[in-house]
Amino acid sequence: MPFIWVPGDTMTRGIKVGITGLPGAGKTQALVKVIEMLEEENLTVGGMVTEPIIENGKRVGFYVMDWKSKRKAILAHIDTESKFYVGKYGVNLESLDTVGVEALVDASKNSDVIVIDEVGKMEVESEKFVKAVKDAMEVDKPIILTLHKKSRNPLLQDIRRRDDVRILEVTPINRNLLPYKIIKLMKGEYV
């Protein structure tokens, strides 16, 4: 069933939807589908999205990308030397602080909907990122964010505890329907 945004429909102001799930469950894919549905309705979506870097069929790292401008930089890579490692990936906080944080600041001012992909182990190492997320959470605009499922980081715990955040878990079974549920939530339809 196609999603149709009826002229005059409004999104619930300030709704915040957190998408969580195990690594590889499809958090980013669900988020991108929601973004595409919103953009089809002429809403401006801004913020940051992560993308895997694939070489020879294997994931070797992640890009951080400004959704609106499509500017991107390497966030983490197996060949990156860093003070911060998550698993085998060296994390490039400078990429996050420039591309990711700048995208969030811009989206908070200039977009209809803010997206943050992802609040996870790599990203919370950046003080600038943590501040940008906290600031965005206070903006009276809809926010969709993906959250690392198991991290006990204080920022993630604060987001999960908020009364205004609805947390949904993506699984291989609900991955294709979840974007439609998120759109209904954003329109204020009880799901």
pTM of the model: 0.90
**Contacts by 94-98, CB closer than 8 A, 24 or more apart:** 95/64, 96/64, 96/122, 96/123, 96/126, 96/128, 96/129, 97/126, 97/128, 97/129, 98/73
Per-residue confidence band for 190, with pLDDT thresholds at 50, 70 and 90: low
Per-residue confidence band for 12, with pLDDT thresholds at 50, 70 and 90: low
Domain ranges of the chain: 16-186
The Cα 140–Cα 56 span in angstroms is 43
Q: Give the pLDDT of residue 8.
A: 46
Residues 16-186, CATH architecture? 3-Layer(aba) Sandwich (3.40)
Parallel, antiparallel, or unpaired for β 113-119 and 72-77? Answer: unpaired
Residues 59-87: tens digit of each pLDDT: 999 999 999 999 999 999 999 999 999 89
CB count in 10 Å sphere of residue 26: 20
